[in-house]
Structure 1
Amino acid sequence: METRKVQRLGPSTLAMTLPAEWAKEQNVEKGDEVSLRMGGKGTLTVLPESASTEDAEATLHADNLDADALERAILAQYVLGRRVINITTEDGALGSDHINAVYKAETQLMGLGVIEETPENIAIRCSVDPEDFTLDNLLERLENTGSTMRGEAVKALAHGNADLAQRALNRERQANKIFVLLLRLIFTAYQNPNLARAVGLDSGFPLIGYRSIAKNLELIADNAEDIAEIAMEAEGNTLDVDDATMRRIRDFTDQVDQITAMAVEAAVKRDYALTIEVKYLFRELKDRENDILTDLPEMSNAQLLQVREVLVSLQETAQYAMRIAEVAANLALNEENEFVTIE
C-alpha cells in the first residue's frame, strides 16, 4: 500500500498527488476530470472517466464452440454486462445449431434482442439500463414470483387442477430472467463502482450478500417448480391424502411464504429484529415435514414418495429463507442501529 502526503492549497483546500503509474494506466492527464466516491469507514475512491463506461461489446467465435457452449457463453457475456454481443464465424456461414442457440439464449434473457443478422454474423443487444432497476426491487420481484409459483402448485395439488400447475411451471422462465438480470447488475456494479448507487446501494459492500440472496431465491423458485411438476405427474393432479392432511400442507405453505417474504424484507430494510423473528418462525417449522409424514395413513410407496417430495420442497424453501435471513443479519449489523454501535 502506498502512502501520500496531504498538502494544503489555499486556505481551505487539501490536495494529494495521484500515482504516476496509475495515471498512465488509466490515461489520466492534466485537465482530465476524475470522480470521487465516498464510502464507508472513511474510504475515498478515485475513479477515472474510463470507469464510467462499460465494456460495451464482445465477440464470440462460433467456430470454437458447439451450440450448448455458445448459449452458455452468451449468458456469461450478458451477466458480465456487455451491451452488444456478436456471434461470428470465419468458416462460411453460421450453422443452424448455432443460430438456434442464439435465439434460445435471447428468449431466456431480459432485454436481449437481435439487432443485425447476416449469414456470417449475428449481433444481439441488451437494452437494459441499470438505472431502470434497483437490486432491492428485483429481489422482491424474484421472491414474489417464487411465492406465486409455490401457491399455484400447492393449490393445483389441493384441487387437482392441471392448469394451475402448468401456470406455475410457465412462471419459471420469468424467475430465471429476473435471477440472471440480478447477476448482471451485481457484476456490473462490482466492476463499475459508479453504478452501485444507480442500482440502489451506497457502496459495493452488500454485493456479495445480494449474490447469495439471489441464488437462494432462485433455488426457492426451483422448489416451487418441483411441486408443480409433481402436480402434473400425479394421478388426477392431486395427492392421495385426506382433506385434513391437505389443509396441513397448505398451512405449511402459508408459513413458508411468510418467512420467505420476511427474510427478503429484512435484507432490503437492513432489519436485524426481523431476522430474529424469521429465526423463531423457522424453529417452529423445523419438524413440520416429519410431523405430517408420521401422521399419514398407509399408502403405496409411489404415493408416499410424492407427498414426501412436496414436503421436502417446502422444508428446503424454509431453509433457504433462513439462509437469506442470515445474510440480512450481516448486512443489518454492518450499520449502527439499536443493536450495535460501531466505533
Structure 2
Amino acid sequence: MKTIRRAQKVGHSTLTVSLPAEWVKRNGLEKGSPIFFYEEKDGSLRLYVEPKRVDDEVVIIDADRYEDPLTLAKVVVGNYVLGRSLLKIVSERRLKREQIEVIREVTHRLMGIGIVETSENHLLLQSSVDPKSFPLSTMLKRLYMIVSTMFKEARDGLIDGDIELSKDAMSREYEADTTYWLISRLLSSAQQSWITAQEMGIIDPMEIIHASLISRFLEMIGDHSEYIAKKSMELKGLWDDLPGDIMNLLEQMGSLAFTIIDKAMESIITGDVKVASDAIKMKEVVELKENEFLGALQNKIRDLKAATVLRSIVWDIKMIVEYSSAIAEIAIDKVLGKAGSSPKAK
C-alpha cells in the first residue's frame, strides 16, 4: 500500500520522516529500535527491520505421516534448506529402524547438522551454520571445482576404460550434494534477511536468483557426470571391441563439454561477455559432433548393449552442455543487468 509522508526539517540540515503507526506496531518497534535502509539502483530507499530470530524454535516432524523413509529424508532436507535450526522427528509408536538409518544418512550428507538427542520415539537434530563463514562466491567456486573434476574423471574413465577413475567420479557425488544443499540453505537465509545477504557478500538481490540457478545447473552437471561414470562401468569387457573412430568422437564431445563448463564459469567470475558467448557458440559444435556420432553408432556398433549405453552417455554429455550454456547465458544477463554498464568484450 502506498503511503506518503512529508519530510520535516529538524535543526539546520537534518530531515526526518515519520513512520506509519500500523507498520511500527506490526514490527514491534520502539524508541531506539534499529531500522535499516538499502539504496536501490534507481536511487529509492528500501526500509526494513531485521526479522526476529527464530533459530531456537523447534520444528516438529511427524514421522508417522511419512511411512516411506525417503520421503522423510526429503522433509528433513527441505527444513534444512529453509534455515531451520532445530528439527524434532517424533513418532507416537516407535521410530522404525529404516527411518533412523535414513535420518542418520541425511545428517552425514548435510553440512553443519547432527543428532543431539535420541529416544525410541524421537530424534532431535540441530543445525548450526554461520552464513558469514561461507561467502557465496567461494561456495559456487567450490561446487564448480567438484563437478568439473567429477566430469573430467568420468570422461577419462570412459575413454580409457579405467574403472577406478569412474569410481572416483562417483565418489565425489556425495561432496557435490553436500555443497549444493549448503548453498541452498545460505540462499534461503539471504532471502529472509538482507543483513545476512550482505554478510555473504551479496550486494544485489538479483545475485540470489542468479546463484540459485547456477548452483542448480552445477548440481545437475554433477548428476550427469555420475551417470556417465556408472554407465561407463557397464561397458566393462566391451572397450576393446569399440571402433576407434567412435571413441574419438566421444572423446571430442567430452573435451568440448569440459571446455564449455570451464568457459561458462569463467564468464560468471570475470563478467567477460566474449568468453560467455564463446561457450554458447561451442554448443553448436557439440550438436554437430553428436549427429556425427549417432550416425557412426548406427552403422558400426552391432552390440545392442554397447549401443544403448553409448547413446545414453551422449545424451548425458548433451545435457551437461545445455546446463553449461545456461550458466553462460546468466553471465551475460548479469552484465546487462548492471546499472549504467554495457557488455564489453575483453
TM-score normalised to structure 2 length? 0.90
* Cα distance change, pair 107–283 in 1 and its aligned pair in 2 (3 A): same
Q: Find the residue that maps to 1:87 and give its secondary structure.
A: strand
Deviation per CA, 1:172-226, whole angstroms, max 9, x where unpaired? Answer: 1111111111111111111111111122210222212222222211111111111
Which residue pairs with 1:319 in the alignment? Answer: 322
CA deviations 1:121-168 (Å, max 9, x no partner) are 322122321111122222222222222111112222222222211111
Instruction: Compare 295-304 and 225-234 and name the one that shifted more.
Output: 295-304
1:160–1:237 CA contact under 8 A, matched in 2: no
Which residue among 306, 317, 333 is the counterpart of 1:330? 333
Give the aligned residue type for 2:81: V
On the 8 A contact 2:238/2:306 being kept in 1, the answer is no
Task: Give the TM-score normalised by structure 1.
Answer: 0.90
Contact kept? 2:176, 2:222, Cα under 8 Å? yes
CA–CA separation in structure 2 for the residues paired with 1:237 and 1:182: 40
User: Which secondary structure state, in structure 1, belongs to the residue aligned with residue 225 of structure 2?
Assistant: helix
Query: How far apart, in 1, do the equivalents of 2:263 and 2:209 lie?
Result: 20
Instruction: Name the structure 2 match of 1:218.
Output: 219
SS state at 2:175 partner: helix
Question: For 1:241 and 1:43, how far apart are their aligned partners in 2?
Answer: 64
**In the alignment, is the contact (CA less than 8 A) between 1:34 and 1:47 conserved in 2?**
yes
CA distance in 2, matches of 1:338, 1:197: 25
Q: Number of paired residues?
A: 338
SS at match of 2:172: helix
Instruction: Tell me the equivalent position of 1:273.
Output: 274
Q: 1:86 to 1:298 in 2, by over 3 A?
A: closer
Report percent identity of matched pairs: 28
CA offset digits 1:273-308 (Å, max 9, x no partner): 332222222232221111123234242222122222
- In structure 2, do the counterparts of structure 1 residues 289 and 31 end up closer, same or farther at CA, with 3 Å as the change threshold? same
Question: 1:18 maps to which residue?
Answer: 19
**AA aligned opposite 1:308:** R
Deviates more, 1:292-301 or 1:248-257: 292-301
Counterparts of 1:283-298 in structure 2, within 5 Å, are: 283-296=284-297, 297-298=300-301
Name whichever of 187-196 and 205-214 sits farther off.
205-214
SS of residue paired to 2:294: helix
Higher alpha-carbon deviation: 261-270 or 205-214: 261-270
Amino acid at match of 2:98: D
Shift in Å at residue 237 of structure 1?
A: 7.0
Find the aligned partners of 1:166 and 1:216 in 2 and give their Cα distance. 22
Residue 4 of structure 1 is matched in structure 2 by: 5
Unmatched tracts of structure 1, length 5 or more: none
2:332 is paired with a residue whose SS is helix
1:55 shift after superposition: 4.2
- Whether the 8 Å contact between 2:50 and 2:195 is mirrored in structure 1 is no
SS in 2 for 1:213: helix
Query: Pairwise CA RMSD of aligned residues?
Result: 2.2
**Which residue in the other structure is 1:303 paired with?**
306
Q: Distance in 2 between matches of 1:187 and 1:295?
A: 47
How many Å separate the matches in 1 of 2:332 and 2:249? 30
Number of the residue aligned with 1:123: 124
Which 10-residue stretch deviates more, 214-223 or 272-281? Answer: 272-281
Contact 2:95–2:121 under 8 Å retained in 1 = yes
The aligned residue for residue 257 of structure 2 is 256
C-alpha distance 305-215 of structure 1, shift in aligned 2 (>3 A): same
Indicate the larger mover: 1-10 or 320-329. 1-10
Aligned partners of 1:238 and 1:225: how far apart in 2? 19
C-alpha change, 1:286 and 1:13, in structure 2 (3 Å) is farther
Q: Per-residue displacement from partner, 1:30-55 (whole Å, max 9, x unpaired)? A: 2222222333222323232435x354
Aligned 8 A contact 2:214 2:327 in 1 = yes
Distance across 1 between alignment mates of 2:241 and 2:225: 19
Distance 1:138 1:22 in 2: 37
Separation (CA, whole Å) in 2 of partners of 1:97 and 1:311? 37
8 Å contact kept, 1:36–1:47: yes
**Structure 2 unaligned blocks of 5 or more:** none
Q: Structure 1's 303 and 63: CA in aligned 2 closer, same or farther, altered over 3 A? A: closer
8 Å CA contact retained: 2:55, 2:86: no
Question: Given the superposition, is the C-alpha separation of residues 4 and 262 from structure 1 closer, same or farther in structure 2, using an over 3 Å criterion?
Answer: farther
Q: Is this contact kept in 2: 1:54–1:81, CA < 8 A?
A: no
Q: Which range is displaced more, 96-105 or 233-242?
A: 233-242
